[in-house]
């Protein structure tokens, strides 16, 4: 049964904070809630605050996963268009897209899984954020789109994450027509991992986090890193790399504890560390 108790991630929140923070499951799951009181645009301020929060979380060994959720009907409407006018200047534009890209890459490289909790519309850079997460739980009424064509601003950077989450033909259809896809189409395309009723989205996202939290943090981090690295290799190189990773995985104490527990028909007691097992001397 899910542990639903929670408290604010910070004892005091800044009055102008664009995020709400909650802790669940004995403080091992952080739920970050996009909350700009409007449509949760990824303004530079929102990007900076979310990025800083993620970097701080990645250093906390107790954390097992992060849920990125939202208040309101929009997960995120994408970049703040007022920041993309000529008056803002090229320097500001570069800062926005470079910082956003760095954050998306950081999500992929974090030690813990990132779960998107979507119960509304994810558009443009908002969809980019969803596609960059490791797991996506969505409500049935959710919609996903990259509508840049309508504004004369092609969704080039959102397309980077999109094409790595769905087939190319689906991505190009979305990018060129600027039309939304519904949650069922997103599930079939691979953009969404789990589809549930709207009133079950939060519960399901926390359920996923709880399932992940049962396992070794160090092994989860190893597995996540390998998954994305091998995807960029050809099949032969991926298998060679995978063999080395599997052999290294076997040297972790948590791995040998898991194997021992399975053989002994007991629950494993993981240490969640990268500590290796001591080598045993071979006897003649």
**Structural domain range at position 252:** 217-264
Q: In this structure, what CATH number is given to the domain that contains residue 242?
A: 1.10.12
Clarify whether residues 125 and 95 are in a common domain. Answer: yes
Clarify whether residues 193 and 234 are in a common domain. Answer: no
Residue 196 lies in a domain: yes
pLDDT the model gives residue 280: 57
Name, in order, each residue with C-beta under 8 angstroms of 245's C-beta and a sequence gap of 6 or more. 222, 226
Clarify whether residues 105 and 226 are in a common domain. Answer: no
Clarify whether residues 113 and 221 are in a common domain. Answer: no
Question: How many domains are there within the chain?
Answer: 2
Residue 156 lies in a domain: yes
Residue 275 lies in a domain: no
Tens-place pLDDT, residues 45-71: 999 999 999 999 999 999 999 999 999
Clarify whether residues 142 and 257 are in a common domain. Answer: no
**Band (238; pLDDT cuts 50, 70, 90):** very high
Question: In this predicted model, which residue has the larger pLDDT, 212 or 8?
Answer: 212
Query: Could you give the residue ranges of the DSSP H alpha helices within the chain?
Result: 44-57, 90-109, 125-132, 156-163, 168-177, 183-189, 201-213, 217-230, 235-250, 253-263
Burial class of residue 118 (count of CB atoms within 10 Å of its CB; 0-12, 13-18, 19+)? buried
Tens-place pLDDT, residues 180-191: 999 999 999 999
pLDDT the model gives residue 55: 98
Tell me the CA distances in angstroms from 167 to 112, 137, 255, one per residue in order. 26, 19, 34
> How far, in Å, CA of 270 to CA of 263, rounded?
15
Tens-place pLDDT, residues 114-165: 999 999 999 999 999 999 999 999 999 999 999 999 999 999 999 999 999 9
Residue 229 lies in a domain: yes
Clarify whether residues 208 and 240 are in a common domain. Answer: no
Residue identified by tokens 């709880």 is 210
> How far, in Å, CA of 8 to CA of 245, rounded?
38
Clarify whether residues 192 and 134 are in a common domain. Answer: yes
CA dihedral (117, 36, 64, 246) in degrees, to 10, reads: 70
**Band (10; pLDDT cuts 50, 70, 90):** very low
Average predicted confidence (pLDDT) for the chain: 93
Residue 140 lies in a domain: yes
pLDDT (mean) for 17-26: 96
Burial class of residue 261 (count of CB atoms within 10 Å of its CB; 0-12, 13-18, 19+)? middle
Clarify whether residues 31 and 93 are in a common domain. Answer: yes
Clarify whether residues 239 and 110 are in a common domain. Answer: no
> How far, in Å, CA of 64 to CA of 206, rounded?
12
């Amino acid at each position: 049964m899910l542990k639903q108790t929670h408290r604010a991630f910070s004892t005091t929140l800044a009055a102008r904070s664009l995020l709400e923070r909650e802790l669940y499951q004995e403080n091992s799951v952080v739920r970050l809630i996009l909350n700009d009181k409007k449509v949760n645009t990824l303004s530079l301020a929102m990007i900076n605050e979310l990025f800083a929060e993620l970097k701080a979380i990645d250093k906390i060994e107790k954390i097992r996963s992060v849920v990125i959720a939202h208040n309101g009907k929009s997960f995120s409407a994408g970049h703040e268009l007022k920041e993309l006018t000529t008056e803002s200047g090229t320097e500001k534009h570069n800062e926005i897209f470079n910082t956003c890209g760095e954050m998306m890459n950081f999500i992929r490289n974090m030690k813990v899984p990132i779960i998107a909790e979507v119960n509304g519309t994810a558009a443009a850079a908002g969809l980019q954020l969803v596609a960059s997460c490791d797991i996506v739980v969505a409500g049935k009424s959710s919609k996903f789109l990259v509508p840049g064509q309508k504004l004369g601003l092609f969704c080039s950077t959102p397309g980077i994450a999109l094409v790595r989450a769905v087939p190319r033909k689906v991505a190009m259809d979305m990018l060129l027509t600027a039309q939304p896809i519904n949650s069922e189409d997103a599930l079939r395309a691979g953009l969404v991992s789990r589809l549930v009723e709207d009133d079950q989205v939060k519960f399901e996202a926390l359920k996923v986090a709880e399932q992940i939290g049962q396992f070794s943090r160090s092994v989860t981090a190893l597995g996540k890193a390998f998954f994305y690295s091998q995807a960029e290799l050809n099949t032969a190189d991926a298998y060679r790399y995978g063999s080395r990773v599997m052999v290294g995985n076997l040297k972790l104490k948590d791995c040998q504890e898991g194997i021992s527990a399975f053989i002994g028909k007991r629950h494993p007691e993981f240490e969640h560390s990268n500590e290796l097992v001591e080598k045993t001397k071979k006897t003649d």
